[in-house]
Amino acid sequence: MADWPTTLEEARALDATDPLSAFRERFVIADPELIYLDGNSLGRLPRATGERLATVVEYEWGERLVRGWGEGWFDAPQRIGGKLAGLLGAAADEVVLADSTSVNLFKLALAGLLARPDRRVIVTDDLNFPSDLYVMESAARLAGGSVRVVPSADGIHGPVEALLAALDGDTALLSLSHTVFKSGYTYDMAALTAAAHRAGAPALWDLSHSAGAVAVDLNGAAADLAVGCTYKYLNGGPGAPAFLYVRRDLQDQLANPISGWIGRRDPFDFALDYAPAPGIGRFLTGTPPILSLSAVEPGVELLLEAGMERLRARSVRLSEYLIVRWEERLAPLGFRLNSPRHPARRGSHVSLGHADGLRINLALIHDQKVLPDFRRPDNIRLGIAPLYNSFADIHTAVERLRAVVVDRLYERYDAAGLTVT
């Protein structure tokens, strides 16, 4: 776009021409003055979620009682997973909701290791979310293997060439975050998956910072395995169940290392021996958390209605606008761009670095009604949720960010994050 808005009025006019702007009204906006740029940590509450939960609590639980299990509760992980699959480029029978991202990563990482006892190494990078690394270390330790962590040269971009060089005949699994949590760097999933396959290994992707904001085509990339959370861009609510994906042809080849009755064939036989369910159902373990599971569905339905192609296009335009405004208004004040410039290699959040980043972030939250988040050492992370963030949000956030520095509001906060006045 040649001529980006330079005033708040122009930004609002641009919002008015975008049909996706109407989706903002379908979320609870308790404080219209608050610029919320942390949807990459916790999405906003869809209005339909409260209505859905009221039905589950008051009717399905309150009136139907235990009959609810036979009236849809047991099927919910696969039914909602089937809907979510439409946002991930997967078939409906390849995605299921269950557990947390860490638990699902453990399941699939260990399953992948146990399927190849002749190979012992998980290859990953140092941009991965730390919890993913902890889980991989646990899985590798149990399987008698190890984790090879490939460093990024600049802490922003994925070390693609070094990862390719690290894949060898001892690689049991390549495991990466599709979009990394600090810089927002986004890997070429198809290219890295193909490289893993050439080395004879499957690829396991963490989609937590991609699902709902970045175009994902698991089948098109021939991806083997994937996990992700539902409380960020999918707007499933705090602690919402995560999801896992297993490509259809691999489902009956892999063993769920956490066997449980819900993942058993005919669970109500209550047999003492474990026989896994066919297909994606074998990767379930325990009783589905119906209340939190039900809260995921309205957010997924909103995204399906909007369409991922349109959502991604809006995400790119909003993040491009943010970078243009950074260059014009913030770079002269010492802010650095700690995210990739090219939109194809950038997710839906933009990280800005500053020597006083922590104090600036606190001043934004407490003095300027802008709610981003901070990731050490100096990243102010601005998450753009294309369903409800706007060009006006971006314009206002940049001007308030500028005011924090120009007016030296951040000096009220010390380096430990404590108010000193």
Enzyme catalytic residues:
129, 206, 231-232, 381
The residues facing 346 across adjacent strands are 185
Count the neighbouring beta carbons within 10 Å of the beta carbon of residue 333. 14
As a whole number of angstroms, the distance between CA 241 and CA 228 comes to 9
- What count of other Cβ atoms lies within 10 Å of the Cβ of residue 342? 9
The angle subtended at Cα 83 by Cα 290 and Cα 204, nearest 5°, is: 90
Instruction: For residues 25 and 7, give the distance between their C-alpha atoms in angstroms, rounded to a whole number.
Output: 23
